[in-house]
Amino acid sequence: MKHFTCILSFFVFNFSFIFSQAIMDANTKSDLNFIKSNYAQSNDLRLKFPIKNYNGESCISLLCKSSVDRLNSLKDKGYSIASSSIGVRSLRMPISRLNDLNTLDFKNVYVEIAGKFKPTLDRAIADLRADSVHAGINLPQGYTGKNVYIGVTDWGFDYSSPVFYDTLLNQTRIVAAWDQYKLSGPNPSGFSYGTEYNTPNDLISAGSDTANIYSFATHGTHVASIAGGSGGGTQYRGVAFEANFLFVTFLIDASAVLDAWEWMYQKAQADGKRLVINMSWGLYHFGTLDGTSLLSQAITSYTDLDVLFVNSGGNNGNVNFHLKKVFDNDSIKTKVDFYPYTSHSKMWGQSIHAWGESGNSFDMAIQVASTSVLAESPYYSTANTNTYIDSFLVTSNDTIWYNISADSAHPLNGRPQMRFRVKNTNTSLKVILKSRSNSGTVHYWNVTELSNDVGNWGMPFSFFGSGSVWGDSNNGISEPSCSDDVISIAAYTAQYYTGGGSLAGGAAASFSSNGPRYDGVMKPDVAAPGVAIASAISSYTDNSYTSIASVPFNGRTYHFAKFSGTSMASPMVAGVAALVLQANPYLTAREVKEIIKLTCRQDNFTGSISAAGDPKWGWGKVNAYAAVQLALQYLGSNEILQDYSWKIIPNPSTSLISISDINFLQKPIQIFSIDGELVLESNEASIDIQNLNNGVYWLRICKNGTVEQQKFIKL
């Protein structure tokens, strides 16, 4: 049989804004070109890209970064840029105005398409040591997350569930919810889409969020109940069961979640509450995976404002979807495994993402083979592939489609990158990836891509014969868990005693993604229970589940079920962070993260973890009890403007200070230098400070189980 190769590389678009005033990476340029050319002919683009109707126009969601003045100027000119407390913002650009990105208005504005996301108790609470915190064992009191807000960005919230009420089932603990899918409004202040519910009656009337790409989901209810559910009269109580909630059902793209964070931040600021945001979702299709992405930069900016972020690390720990190659004027080849087209109605193909080292370049190509090579593409290099390539290979029986975009130096991190997407519906044909370079290290990931662009699971790189290589499961932390300031969470099976009295569980979850980040920074940060976690199910869901318990409440029945994933481990740690912040609200977000890492425990399953951390466990298993203990001893550097019932008199002072209302004293009064060194302790209300050097000091007390601190001046 005669086989032939048809290598027809054609540029679908040749737009002027390929060299636009706006700064973009190659993936964004090529995707915007494709959208602009094909939108009028294809409704499917709404599934693949973050395109929605806003005010009667079809708009694509983007992220943008520039100076505050430049972004405000764009907003004044009528562009739909969200108000924000940071320099990274969401931008909703009408498809009809995409050419505006080529105007001077957008000069030096970095723009990228908002990537789309996918979501990634009883025994677990004890394994986490949170039960000791609740009971207040050898602590000033029990801690339950009271006066802390937990924000959950997810899908499938049941606003009516009893687990989101107080333990007496009298009052909801949901402060507000924003359903970005619901069009009827009212919109939240400062945002032009979605519906906000901010009263108990509104929440009850709504019942749940609306159906979306995940239909009537339950993921958000399950996740939020792990973080802070009251149990609804069952034993399935969450970690911080007296915390309050902010829920956002977001539009599955990065610009929408950026708006969600800003909305949550504004709510917490207005109410004077500390905020922990849980994100049980992630993706590999977008971002830089090294902490430099726009989403990572946004997280850092909010962390500077003392918002704490917790994120599931990913569920690709048992898939060899990664390759690392240190090149020395040589090459590699491997088989690209495909997710079965019969297993998902939206299956498009495989998306291979590759990142190299700054100052180097690399080439990629594919072959199509059966018992022998039937067709192959040319090599494409990051050094000179500066246009979007959409092409195909033809055998006598089938057509293999592929498209490519690449940067010689990505605008955010200076690294060469290539996205090589392949569609092959013939299971009898193998797709072989080839790559070569003179020098440098290159990382490759093989991730399933759906026609609606949502798919966060990897598929293997496989050995297929002499000279080929296997993939591995290393460097598998997803966006945005790879951000420097996120607490990135791994999962393990909670340890418990069986009915016979023997100890079971405790091992790492096979699915939990492995680190480190491909630039060597250690991720995940910590591990928490994430296997067979019992939690609440939305009473409105049409997702499948196996009920393990149910309770009646206000005329409805509410079920509980067990799910597994780092999605379940992440809210465990979000709940622990709320316990820590209740105990010591003076801690900065970074101090809370450090405390949680420092107090992790190690056991026979983790082994001895070095100071550098471990790619499976991070710094170990989270220990809520030890974290709260350390938080109570920690001098937080976050200043809180608050009127206290006690005062330091006189202030300033030269020799003696007195503390009013000493009846609350639960432990010795402590005085710290401004840089955190403990310099004096006293059990008395009057303290002699004449031996202290002149300067500013912190005086710290523990009142009703919570740290309070004020500054005074020694003259």
Is residue 8 in some structural domain?
A: no
Claim to verify: residue 336 and residue 362 sit in the same structural domain: yes
Higher pLDDT, 118 or 223: 223
In a domain, 467, yes or no: no
Comparison of pLDDT for 659 and 382, the residue scoring more: 382
Label the pairing between strands 148-154 and 274-279. parallel
The residue among 633, 657, 688 that closes a domain is 633
Residue at a domain's end among 66, 97, 113: 113
Confidence of residue 118 (pLDDT cuts 50, 70, 90): low
Same domain membership, residue 341 and residue 253: no
Is 212 part of a structural domain of the chain?
Answer: yes
Does residue 554 carry a pLDDT above 50? Answer: yes
Q: When comparing pLDDT for 609 and 91, which is higher?
A: 609
Domain of 699 in residue numbering reads as 648-714
- Say yes or no: 89 and 210 in one domain: no
Task: With a cut of 80, say whether residue 39 has pLDDT above it.
Answer: no
Q: Give the C-alpha separation, 303 to 288, whole Å.
A: 19
Q: Which helix (DSSP H) or strand (DSSP E) does residue 32 occupy?
A: helix 26-38
Do 180 and 282 lie in one domain? The reply is yes
Q: Is residue 284 a part of any domain in this protein?
A: yes
If asked whether residues 590 and 522 sit together in one domain, one would say: yes
State the alpha helices, DSSP H only, in 534-618: 566-583, 589-598
Residue 574 in domain:
yes
Q: Which of 633, 662, 683 is the last residue of a domain?
A: 633
Same structural domain for residues 170 and 269? yes
User: Could you write out the three-class secondary structure of 92-128?
Assistant: EEEHHHHHHHHCHHHCCCEEEECCECEECCHHHHHHC
Judged against a pLDDT cut of 90, whether residue 570 lies above it is answered with yes
List, for residues 300-347, the tens digit of each pLDDT value.
Answer: 999 999 999 999 999 999 999 999 999 999 999 999 999 999 988 889
583, 330 contact by CB (below 8 A)? no
**Paired sense of beta strands 307-312 and 274-279, if any:** parallel
Tell me whether residue 674 is in a domain.
yes
The model's confidence at residue 113, banded by pLDDT at 50, 70 and 90, is confident
Residue 497 and residue 614 in one domain: yes
Q: Which of 429, 422, 427 is nearest to 368 (CA)?
A: 429
- Number of domains comprising the chain: 4
Instruction: Count CB neighbours of 26 within 10 A.
Output: 23
User: Burial level of 383, CB count in 10 A (0-12/13-18/19+)?
Assistant: middle
In a domain, 420, yes or no: yes
pLDDT band at 641 (very low <50, low <70, confident <90, very high): low
For 450-495, write each residue's pLDDT tens digit.
887 656 789 999 999 889 999 999 999 999 999 999 999 999 999 8
pLDDT at 283: 79
Between CA 62 and CA 616 the distance in angstroms is: 33
Q: What strand order describes the sheet that includes 307-312? A: 195-197, 174-179, 244-249, 148-154, 274-279, 307-312, 487-492, 526-529
Whether residue 456 sits in one domain with residue 366: yes
Whether residues 534 and 575 share a domain: the answer is yes
Instruction: Report yes or no: 183 and 296 within 8 Å, Cβ to Cβ.
Output: no
- Please name every residue paired with 282 in a beta bridge, in sequence order, or none if there are none: 118
Burial 290-310, CB ≥16 within 10 A → b, else e:
bbbbbbbbbbbbbbeebbbbb
Please count the CA atoms within 13 angstroms of the CA of 589 that sit on its side-chain side.
Answer: 22
Pure H helices in 114-253: 122-127, 130-135, 200-206, 219-228
CATH of the domain at 698: 2.60.40
CATH code for the domain of 374: 2.60.120
Q: Does the N-terminal peptide bond of residue 94 adopt cis geometry, omega within 30 degrees of 0?
A: no
178 and 274 share a domain?
Answer: yes
The answer to whether residue 68 sits within a structural domain is yes
Least confident stretch, 33-42, 218-227, 613-622: 33-42
The reply to whether 275 and 128 lie within a common domain is yes
Give me the pLDDT at residue 640, please: 66
What CATH code is carried by the domain that includes residue 65? Answer: 3.30.70
Which are the contacts of 554, defined by CB distance < 8 A and separation ≥ 6?
160, 162
Q: Residue 16: is its pLDDT beyond 50? A: no
CATH number for position 135: 3.40.50.200
Do 300 and 433 belong together in one domain?
no
